[in-house]
Amino acid sequence: MPEITKQQVMEKLKSVRGPDLDGDIVSLGMVSDAFIADGKVYFSITVPAERARELEPLRQAAERVVKDIPGVTGVLATLTADKKAGTPNPAPERPSPQASHASHGHSHAGHAHGGPAQGSPAQPRGKAGVPGIGAIIAVASGKGGVGKSTTAVNLALGLQANGLKVGLLDADIYGPSVPRLLKIAGRPTQIDGRVIRPMENYGLKAMSMGFLVEEDTAMIWRGPMVQSALMQMLREVAWGDLDVLVVDMPPGTGDAQLTMAQQVPLAGAVIVSTPQDLALIDARKAVNMFNKVEIPVLGVVENMSYFVCPDCGTSQDIFGHGGARAEAEKIGVPFLGEVPLTMEIREKSDAGTPVVISSPDGPHAKVYREIAAKVWQSVGERRQPAAPSIVFDD
């Protein structure tokens, strides 16, 4: 495969005229530094925020010319909105009636464990839904190392085991884990050269930056490129009809979390923590962030809650025990359950065969299915409109 250079990319992009035809997008300083990995080219184009929708053809033209470079197997060009301080936000885009109809067009009847009411949840104002997806749930943590991705994958598989159509979006651009956890290799393909077909294993549709670049590639991206890539992985993927899309969020409370919270109609968030005080402090930060952006917290999961000795069967509280339950009660959110620290969960996760799939009748799979049922029940309860009051006139 011929080597692709940044100079080649920039030379090609010089053929794309700027929005007002007074120069090309490179000479106008609109193009970021290109990132090249495994035959795929990534770059962003900075445009005024109020003209982002209008300039979508510009982005498409930039992708087309770069695709013509020999050796290029894929291009991801993103529009980065350049909002100057003091300028008002553009008016939120409202979904078209056709898009609204598409997102409400499939039935949820017949699912196990208390399926939701018919149709998709009402979308917060200014947040366009994703056609075909009934609900979007974020799985988040205040810090790394608490087993959030393992929880997200098993939660998604638990929802599926409970009878739902489920997809999984890996929103961790810098440290994607889903390809390994689901044992998926290879690259996604495009439909009609535009929409990406999601990867799939165990009946679960999935999308991750890890499918687009090599596992050891360092993603050196600034915040705007991360935000744009997230939106493309969400909105330009052929998810099909799903009851729920689980989003494995990166750890912390940074740009990616705010992007998802502010631009995506999340049905709620699941917070993952371990029992010790330090993790609980960070979990509290995650809860506070979602509260500030008015995203309901569906509950807290205590991961690595206790260790079960494989030889003697006794339980040991290595990281303490019950801290997440007490914290959930303190801040007034549901406690969803305790996941033990076991060799089986760790080994199965590393092997890409999550316990919900590899040991569906085992005690650990049961824990995840029960957590999934509680999460989905909470989503369903929040969808139900308040019952009208009946007033009898005298």
Tens-place pLDDT, residues 377-393? 989 887 655 444 444 45
Average pLDDT over residues 331-339: 84
Share of the chain above pLDDT 70, in %: 71
Mean pLDDT taken over the chain: 76
Range 152-161 average pLDDT? 95
102 pLDDT above the threshold of 50? no
Task: Please say if the pLDDT value at position 206 is more than 50.
Answer: yes
Provide CB contacts within 8 A for 184, sequence distance 6+: 178, 199, 200, 201, 206, 211, 352
Q: Using an 8 Å Cβ cutoff, are 132 and 103 in contact?
A: yes
Tokens 């890890």 found at: 210
Q: What would the mean pLDDT of 35-56 be, rounded to a whole number?
A: 79
Give the pLDDT score at 242: 96
Q: What is the pLDDT of residues 207-235, one digit of tens each?
A: 998 887 776 676 666 666 777 788 888 88
Of residues 176 and 126, which shows the higher confidence score?
176
Domain annotation for the chain: domains and CATH numbers:
6-82 (3.30.300.130), 103-383 (3.40.50.300)
Predicted confidence at residue 222, as pLDDT, reads: 64
pLDDT (0 to 100) of residue 98: 33
| Average pLDDT score over residue span 253-269 | 80
Please report the pLDDT score of residue 73 as a whole number: 84
Q: Retrieve residue 338's tokens.
A: 């305790």
pLDDT of residue 387: 45
| 74-106 CB burial, b ≥16 within 10 A, e <16 | bbbbbbbbeeeeeeeeeeeeebeeeebebbbeb
- Would you state the pLDDT for residue 66? 92
For residues 213-238, b (16+ Cβ closer than 10 Å) or e, as one string? beeeeebebeebbbbbbbbbbbeebb
Q: What is the pTM of this model?
A: 0.67
Chain segment 109-124, per-residue pLDDT in tens: 333 333 333 333 444 4
**Helices 277-292/323-331 angle, 10° precision:** 30
125 pLDDT higher than 60: no
| Helical ranges in 15-83 per DSSP H | 56-67
Residue 242 in tokens: 């799903």
Q: For 341-369, what is the mean pLDDT?
A: 87
Q: Which residue has the higher pLDDT, 81 or 362?
A: 362
pLDDT, average across residues 177-196? 85
What is residue 104's predicted lDDT score, i.e. its pLDDT? 33
Beta bridge partners of 35: 42
Of residues 124 and 332, more confidently modeled: 332
pLDDT tens profile 291-325: 787 889 898 888 775 555 555 555 544 444 555 67
Q: What is the mean pLDDT of residues 145-170?
A: 92
Q: Are 202 and 357 in contact (CB under 8 A)?
A: yes
Q: What is the pLDDT of residue 85?
A: 34
